Structure 1
Amino acid sequence: MSVSLNLNPPALLAKLGRRLPTPFVSLHFVAGLEVARRLKWLSPPPELDGRSFAITIEDLGLRSSFAVRDGAFRPAWNSAPSELELGAKLSDFLALMRAETDADTLFFQRRLRISGDTELGLIVKNWLDAAPRPAWLQRMSGQVQG
């Protein structure tokens, strides 16, 4: 007797991701942001200082909450709502990170979900659009597209 399993890896990852506590995910996500900041790949503008954010990678079921304090990224340990929440699939966040597409395009195609403080959302959008990308990220983008 043969048994066929139809496994959907993204669904399994999302199920696992939803079970991970947000502080655990946030700690790892913020560690990556801090490495990028210290390597001068990413520098939050002063307008973000003292503000709180959440990013959800919807297809993986992962949510990260963090804040910017004194120009550095810090995990948010409390359960207070974030001032700005962004949600999208991993591929859309990667396209945004590589500057293959912009936040407006993703938003109007309903591939980027934004909620919370509208003014803060515009500051973040303009910052992400204007942020220079490291050379290795641009090379990686060309390899993926080509």
Structure 2
Amino acid sequence: MDLSNFRFPKSLQTLGSHLPAPLANAPLMLILELARRRALLIAPDSLYGKSFCIKVEDLGLALCFYCDQGKFKSLSSLPMPDVSLSASAVDFLKLTTGQEDADTLFFRRRLKIEGNTELGIAVKYWIDASERPAWLNQFARRFMQTGEAM
């Protein structure tokens, strides 16, 4: 099964949109903090004081946070974040693991960037340049292979 076009069912999208922001944001904030502490994801100064929203379209999630002197802090919601990135869960997995770069997803219209374009491009390049731990790449390969075997 090719997971490139995989989308979670609409019922999950509805459920995701009803989750309280602190609960929905918790996994992302934990991952960002662990990556920061292990020096895998060091925010450049250009992100300091900026607000972000990650929209996982097929899960109905809007994960909002800001960068406070290199640390990421959760926000319950943002009427207008500095930049917003939207994609499906699988596309974010591919981006996170380096299986697809942000430019490829963007030009295929699978990654949408809204708000401050200059900041969006800086974030896109920062994500692409970030080192990924070996276990993350192994997880992605296994996940994608499992999907192909279905």
Which TM bucket (shorter chain)? 0.7 to 0.9
The structure whose RCO (Cα within 8 Å, separation 6+) is larger is: 2
Tell me if structure 1 keeps the 8 A contact 2:64–2:77: no
User: In the alignment, does 2:129 pair up with 1:130?
Assistant: yes
- Corresponding residue for residue 13 of structure 1: 12
* Unpaired stretches in structure 1, ≥5 consecutive residues: 1-8
C-alpha distance in 2 between matches for 1:10 and 1:130: 32
C-alpha distance in 1 between matches for 2:138 and 2:117: 33
Q: What letter is aligned with 2:38?
A: L
C-alpha distance in 1 between matches for 2:52 and 2:143: 29
Percent of residue pairs bearing the same amino acid type: 43
User: In the alignment, does 2:101 pair up with 1:102?
Assistant: yes
C-alpha distance in 2 between matches for 1:68 and 1:79: 14
**Cα distance, 1:128 vs structure 2:** 0.7
* Count of residues paired in the alignment: 139
User: Which of the pair is proportionally richer in helix?
Assistant: 2
Larger Rg: 1
C-alpha distance in 1 between matches for 2:143 and 2:70: 32
* Unpaired stretches in structure 2, ≥5 consecutive residues: 1-7, 146-150
Q: What letter is aligned with 1:63?
A: A
Is the partner of 2:59 in helix, strand or coil? coil
1:16-55 equivalent positions in 2, closer than 5 A:
16-55=15-54
Q: What letter is aligned with 1:24?
A: L
C-alpha distance in 1 between matches for 2:108 and 2:37: 33
- Corresponding residue for residue 59 of structure 2: 60
**Cα distance, 1:111 vs structure 2:** 0.7
TM-score (normalised: structure 1): 0.86
TM-score (normalised: structure 2): 0.84
